[in-house]
């Protein structure tokens, strides 16, 4: 049974883990090991939308130049309300978002981390953390391989429970989606459809390139009684039947949960720090999680760099990490809670019907961009 020693081991190479790894490399922390149960490139069920905040974070990480050429620019959106009112919103050039397939995004981020000296170990299916008393001192794989480290970062996403002993209440948004070629769509515009059957959530169409779109729905499970495929089929029949009639479906539909909480807490314990969706840091109303994953990964990397270089104690740096995550996300999560309540009412219909007035139109665009 082999044992590897490291300064930092990161469990999971999604946006959280790769951002943390890339940032640790940038900050000069050596002997960082990143593991994932998959090899890369790999797919991840996701709309792959990157908000303006996510783009800013990619710039801070120094990877935007690598990612931009593989991204599809979004300059506006089609909004459909529960009352079937339709509106076209322009985010303006400045607020432009992009769609970048996760197969590409995560792989480019991983390559950047490797170029900065991080070692990547694929096919490492972590099953447990190693402990010495209360302290986490490493991780262990299903095949018995162990990595001992001064610090463990947990970035395993929504399914992984390794290293998360606290019973933090998780809330769940269910999602199901598919991919199609040759669906007619307005170039550089995404679509958000607030249908009553999935309120307070929405369905979407995100263009990935000139030819391919992904379409999906997210919804809150009620008593486990909804059938995801039936719900999605009804949504497609209502909103996309005509446009899908001449399109070609690519692969099968995929379902995947998004986990979240209003409370940003319990992200640290002796020897280990949680980042990304493992820390329940996804947006309660939009299910956006890539930005929060990358940002918390960067903040976590900063905390570990401070500790390892002796600038701050573990206690100080960990407390500061939690404070910074709260400062970064808490307001938006609460705003998401308000939006969830609003989305159950007819308020969006009112906004859209009033949106012929230019000031309302631009305000609505700003609110959606800010979410």
Q: Residues 194 to 233: which contact ligand FAD by CB under 6 A? A: 216
Distance between CA atoms of residues 16 and 202, nearest Å: 25
284 interacts with ligand FAD by CB under 6 A = no
Tell me the site size for ligand FAD, rule CB under 6 A.
Answer: 41
Inter-CA distances, 172 with 144, 221, 264, 362, Å: 32, 8, 16, 32
156 interacts with ligand FAD by CB under 6 A = yes
Distance between CA atoms of residues 163 and 12, nearest Å: 12
Query: Interior CA angle at 264 toward 259 and 265, to 5°?
Result: 110
Q: Which two tokens stand for residue 210?
A: 């000139």
Q: Are 125 and 145 in contact (CB under 8 A)?
A: no
175 interacts with ligand FAD by CB under 6 A = yes
108 interacts with ligand FAD by CB under 6 A = no
Radius of gyration from C-alpha coordinates of the chain? 21
Least separation, in Å, of the C-beta of 310 and ligand FAD?
29
Look up residue 282 and give its DSSP letter.
Answer: S
Among 23, 48, 81, 101, binds ligand FAD (CB under 6 A): 48
Which residue number is nearest to ligand FAD in terms of Cβ? 289
Least separation, in Å, of the C-beta of 202 and ligand FAD?
11
Stretch near ligand FAD under the rule CB under 6 A, chosen from 42-50, 240-248, 299-307, 332-340:
42-50
34 interacts with ligand FAD by CB under 6 A = no
Among 25, 138, 271, 276, binds ligand FAD (CB under 6 A): 276
105 interacts with ligand FAD by CB under 6 A = no
Phi-psi region of 31 (alpha: psi -120 to 50; beta: other; left: phi over 0): left
Q: Closer CB to ligand FAD, residue 203 or residue 289?
A: 289
Stretch near ligand FAD under the rule CB under 6 A, chosen from 178-186, 237-245, 288-296, 316-324:
288-296
Among 21, 136, 293, 348, binds ligand FAD (CB under 6 A): 293
Q: Quick one: 362 exposed, middle or buried, by C-beta within 10 A (0-12, 13-18, 19+)?
A: middle
Cis preceding linkage at 17, omega within 30:
no
Helix, coil or strand: residue 104: helix
Stretch near ligand FAD under the rule CB under 6 A, chosen from 23-31, 86-94, 153-161, 235-243:
153-161
Q: Which two tokens stand for residue 159?
A: 């399914």
157 interacts with ligand FAD by CB under 6 A = yes
Return the H-helix or E-strand segment holding 307: helix 290-308
56: Cβ–Cβ under 8 A, 6 or more apart, which residues?
none
Least separation, in Å, of the C-beta of 65 and ligand FAD?
20
**Given 3-state DSSP classes, what are the helix, strand and coil percentages for the chain, each rounded to the nearest 5?**
40, 30, 35
177 interacts with ligand FAD by CB under 6 A = yes
Q: Closer CB to ligand FAD, residue 13 or residue 91?
A: 13
Interface ranges with ligand FAD (CB under 6 A): 11-17, 35-38, 44-49, 124-126, 155-158, 160, 162, 175, 177, 216, 256, 258, 276-278, 282, 287-291, 293
């Amino acid at each position: 049974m082999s044992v590897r020693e490291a300064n930092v081991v990161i469990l999971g190479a999604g946006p959280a883990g790769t951002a943390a790894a890339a940032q640790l490399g940038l900050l000069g922390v050596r002997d960082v090991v990143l593991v994932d149960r998959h090899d890369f490139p790999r797919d991840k069920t996701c709309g792959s939308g990157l908000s303006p905040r996510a783009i800013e974070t990619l710039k801070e990480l120094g990877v935007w130049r690598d990612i931009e050429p593989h991204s599809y620019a979004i300059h506006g959106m089609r909004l459909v309300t529960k009352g079937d009112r339709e509106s076209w919103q322009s985010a303006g050039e400045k607020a432009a978002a992009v769609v970048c397939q996760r197969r590409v995004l995560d792989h480019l981020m991983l390559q950047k981390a490797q170029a900065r000296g991080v070692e990547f170990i694929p096919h490492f299916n972590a099953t447990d953390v190693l402990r010495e008393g209360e302290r986490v001192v490493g991780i262990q794989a299903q095949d018995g391989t162990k990595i001992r480290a001064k610090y463990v970062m947990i970035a395993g996403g929504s399914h992984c429970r390794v290293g998360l002993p606290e019973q933090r209440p998780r809330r769940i948004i269910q999602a199901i989606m598919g991919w199609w070629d040759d669906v007619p769509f307005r170039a550089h515009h995404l679509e958000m459809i607030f249908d009553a059957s999935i309120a307070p959530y929405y369905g979407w169409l995100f263009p990935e390139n000139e030819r391919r779109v992904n379409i999906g729905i997210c919804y809150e499970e009620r008593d486990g009684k909804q059938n995801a495929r039936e719900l999605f089929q009804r949504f497609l029949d209502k909103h996309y039947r005509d446009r899908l009639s001449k399109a070609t479906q690519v692969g099968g539909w995929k379902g995947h949960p998004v986990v979240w909480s209003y409370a940003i807490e319990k992200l640290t314990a002796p020897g280990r720090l949680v980042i990304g969706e493992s820390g329940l840091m996804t947006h309660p109303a939009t299910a956006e999680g890539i930005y929060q994953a990358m940002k918390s990964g960067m903040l976590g990397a900063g905390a570990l760099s401070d500790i390892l270089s002796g600038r701050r104690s573990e206690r100080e740096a960990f407390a500061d990490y939690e404070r910074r995550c709260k400062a970064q996300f808490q307001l938006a999560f609460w705003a998401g809670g308000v939006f969830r309540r609003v989305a159950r009412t007819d308020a969006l219909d009112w906004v859209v019907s009033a949106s012929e007035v230019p000031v309302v139109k631009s305000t609505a665009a700003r609110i959606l961009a800010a979410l």
